[in-house]
Amino acid sequence: MTDTQVLAALAALEAHRVDVGHRRIRDLFVGDPGRANRLQAEMDGLVLDYSKHRVTDATLAHLLGLARAADLEGKRDALFSAAHYNNTEGRAAMHMGLRDFSGEPIMIDGADMRPAIEAERDKMLAFAQAVRTGAVRGSTGERITDVVNIGIGGSDLGPAMAVRALSPFAGEGPRAHFVSNVDGADIADTLKGLDLKRTLFIISSKTFTTQETMTNAQSARARVAAELGEAAVADHFAAVSTKLDLVAKFGIRADRVFGFWDWVGGRYSLWSSIGLVLAVAIGRDHFLAFLRGGHDMDRHFAQTPLQDNLPVLMGLLGIWYRNAWDYSAHAVIAYDQRLARFAAYLQQLDMESNGKCVTRDGEPVQMATAPVIWGEPGTNGQHAFFQMLHQGTSVVPVDFMVAARAIDADAHHHDLLVANCFAQSEALMRGRTREEVEALLSAQGLSDFEIARLAPHKVFPGDRPSSTLIYQQLDPRTLGRLVALYEHKVFVQAAIWNINPFDQWGVELGKELCSGLAPVVRDRAASLAALEPATAALIETRRRLQG
């Protein structure tokens, strides 16, 4: 693979776009009666329908040629072989090992990590079960009814998304709550109404120094110590961290500390002890099913030919629109209320991974990278931003997600939900022409004047591409498959762009500046002379508004 080959393949793809660009998606079905069934890929009940994209067989051939020019298969093999794919930090990206049930050694840096992975998992799951059964209790002997996870980024978004998604599987487990924002309103609102005697806090911070997390952790600790006494801290806190000295200083017992490894990135850490709150929420067996779902997708991604490979197809379709069509946004619309936080989770997964402007070699990227990822559940979005999706000036490709069967919903509700999902994807693709609008208005008895006045407003351009992911039902194993599917989709696109999706240097600068600014913001008498003028002006304005 060379940059020249990739750029040549990309140029061929862009030239092909000119050829196919005049063809309407709806017309592609007319000329190809088998298209709807042929442009589907499936992995054991998880179906990707990508027929409503502006693609032909030639398009797919160009995209697969681009993937091979970028050595996608070789990079995929390197990832699974535990090579130091995260080259800027000098480490492997082997979160897949946390959900590997093959029984084979998991070799990372010359050591078989399987025994350590399984031992840490068993320790974490045993504690989670003890909380669920009441064997672990608060300082006054009360059963734990509420668990508050304090983290941020990957220590919050993944667990919060998964706990909500799998709420029907909680059984009699404690209620789960999440605090992430350093805004004091977050922890204040979360703790309001909770009985601290029945509350367990999980501090999720690998380094136990993350500013937002530790600020919230210290606030929670102060509340527990003030209400229940200093000695109660040990009974109401657990930690997911590798810094045993800092955890001990905080007052958390060693048997309540759970770790993971530096080859597990934060946004890929839900599969590790960061998933403790999820394990408490849904129990051991369901958590293991979630891991097995991730392993299912790992095997599919690693072993399935590119043309039938779900993450590959999704990734390449994203490349088609980002790089050949210059579409800068991508929406994920889950017609599943329990996936309400899925788009927020994907924002970090995708944009923190692929929001890069330099290659793995430190050279400027020669093509556009990560689109803006956004979304909300259907059908809510239909009454909000779908106006822009249908008639706006920007084209936004969409991933629709829907279950064939509902959990805890009657058939009438779910049938209506599915009908809405399918109707929206059809409407985005088909649109409605001026002629069709005029015929409809005429059939309604409107005058020629009214038809001419209203018709432009009722035209839908169409040709708005979308994929539809259909799964049997949203259970733990399915959620594991969905999360791993998007993880690997992100990797596919990173491989094409030749960027490192496993570092995140872009979050560092603001954090560094905050460390220097915080003392100045706290001290109203502090000099602003050394500050950048615009920042100094903001601090002056804030001081004035404080009164």
The two structure tokens encoding residue 112 = 């078989």
398 - beta bridge partners? 331, 466
* DSSP conformation letters of 463-499: ---EEEEEES---HHHHHHHHHHHHHHHHHHHHHHT-
CB-based contact 154:504 (threshold 8 Å): no
| Amino acid (1-letter code) at residue 140 | T
Q: Which is the catalytic residue, given 227, 511, 532, 540?
A: 511
Helix (H) or strand (E) holding 364: none
Residue written as tokens 């002379």? 529
Q: Which is the catalytic residue, given 383, 412, 457, 512?
A: 383
Buried b (16+ CB within 10 A) or exposed e, 247-259: beebbbeeebbbb
End-to-end CA distance of the chain: 62
CB-based contact 120:274 (threshold 8 Å): no
The two structure tokens encoding residue 67 = 């993937």
Say if strands 199-204 and 175-179 run parallel, antiparallel, or are unpaired. Answer: unpaired
Told to judge if 236 belongs to the known catalytic residues of this protein, a careful annotator would answer no
Rounded-to-integer distance, Cα 299 and Cα 380, Å:
35
CB-based contact 233:224 (threshold 8 Å): yes
Q: Which is the catalytic residue, given 120, 212, 352, 376?
A: 352
CA angle 127, 128, 133 (to 5 degrees): 95
Using DSSP, state whether 231 is helix, strand or coil.
helix
Q: How much is the CA Rg of the chain, to the nearest whole Å?
A: 26
Told to judge if 212 belongs to the known catalytic residues of this protein, a careful annotator would answer no
Told to judge if 286 belongs to the known catalytic residues of this protein, a careful annotator would answer no
Rounded-to-integer distance, Cα 141 and Cα 167, Å:
27
| Residue 412: exposure state from Cβ atoms within 10 A (0-12, 13-18, ≥19) | exposed
CB-based contact 99:292 (threshold 8 Å): yes
The two structure tokens encoding residue 314 = 């999704």
Q: Which residues have a Cβ under 8 Å from the Cβ of 59 and sit 6 or more positions away?
A: 16, 20, 320
466 - beta bridge partners? 398
Residue written as tokens 């803006």? 372
Which residues participate in catalysis according to the annotation?
352, 383, 511
